[in-house]
Structure 1
Amino acid sequence: MKYLLLVSHGGFAEGLKTSLAMFAGDKMEQVIAVGLREGTEVFAADFKEAISVVTDEDSVIVLADIVGGSPLTTALSVLEERGLLSSAIVLGGMNLPMAITSAVMKDMLDGDDFVQAVLPEAQTALQEFKVASSDDEEADDDDDI
C-alpha cells in the first residue's frame, strides 16, 4: 500500500486532511496527518504512532508545509529509523491542490512521473485573484456607448 503522509507546523496537516476528504474521501484510509505542536520530541512520538500501520512492504509520499522545517526533518528521521526513507517521495510547500493530486495519483504513478504530475498542479494553484470593482464595470459599460 502507498500512504500519503501530511506533516506541518500546528494544525495545518490535520486541517488539510479534513479538506482533502471532501475531494478524495475514498482515499482517506491511506492518508495520515500529524502536526508539530509541543516540540520535536512529542512530534516524533506522535508521528511514530501515526505511521505504526505502515509496514516494510508499504511506501510513503510525504507532503510537508516547509522544506527543511522541523516537522519534515523529524518525520524523515523517523522514516529512516523505520527503513522507509529510501523509497519515499518527499515534497514541500503543500497546498490543497497538491494534496488532492497526490491522493488521486499516488496509486497510478511512481517516482519522477508522480512528482511531475503533482508539482505543476501545486504551482498552478498559486496565482493572484483580481476582483473587478464596480467602477471598472461601469467604465466597461460606458465604452459600449
Structure 2
Amino acid sequence: MKYLLLVSHGGFAAGLKTSLAMFAADKIEQVIAVGLENGQSVDDFAQVFRGATEILTETDSVVVLADIVGGSPLTAALGILDEKGLLDSAIVLGGMNLPMAITSAVMKDMLDGADFVAAVLPEAQAALQEFKVASDDAEDDDI
C-alpha cells in the first residue's frame, strides 16, 4: 500500500489531515500526520513518528509531505523511514499546502516517481498567488 505521510512543526500536519478529509475522505485511512509540538524534543517526535508508522511494512511505499525541507520533523522522519527500508523508494516534497496534499492523496496510487512529482508540484505552486479584491473605486472611475 502507498501511504501519505504529513510531517510538520506544531499542529500543521494534523490540521492539514483534518482539512484533507473534507476533500478526500476515501483516502484518509492512508494518511499519517505527525507534528513536532512546541517544547517537544526531536527524539520525542521521532518516537511519536515511529509509533504512528508502525503499520508500515517493507512492502509499502510512502509519499512524504513536509512543511519545511531540512526541518527537524522531516529529517527525523526520513531517518526512521530509512530504518524501515522505505527511504529509497519514498517521494519527499517540502512546502506542503492543502492543494499539494489533495493532489498527493488522489494521485499517489495512479502515478509514481517523476510523473507523480510533475503532477503534484504545479498544483502546490499554482495555489501561491495574490488574491486582489476589486474596490468600488474602480466602478466610480467609469462614471
TM (normalized to structure 1)?
0.95
Aligned: 1:87 with 2:89: yes
Pairwise CA RMSD:
0.7
Deviations 1:8-57 (A, max 9, x none): 00000000000000000000000000000112011100000000011110
Counterpart of 1:35 in structure 2 is: 35
Percent of paired sites with the same residue: 76
Q: Distance in 1 between matches of 2:48 and 2:36?
A: 9
State the secondary structure of the residue aligned to 2:77. Answer: helix
- The code of the aligned residue for 1:39 comes to S
Number of residues paired by the alignment? 141
Q: Distance in 2 between matches of 1:137 and 1:107?
A: 48
- The code of the aligned residue for 1:29 comes to E
State the secondary structure of the residue aligned to 1:33. Answer: strand
Tell me which structure has the larger Cα radius of gyration.
Answer: 1
State the secondary structure of the residue aligned to 1:71. Answer: helix
State the secondary structure of the residue aligned to 1:4. Answer: strand
- The code of the aligned residue for 2:104 comes to S
Unpaired stretches in structure 1, ≥5 consecutive residues: none
TM (normalized to structure 2)?
0.97
Structure showing the higher helix proportion among its residues: 1
Unpaired stretches in structure 2, ≥5 consecutive residues: none
Q: List structure 1 runs of 4+ shifted beyond 6 angstroms.
A: none
Deviations 1:87-117 (A, max 9, x none): 0000000000000000000000000000000
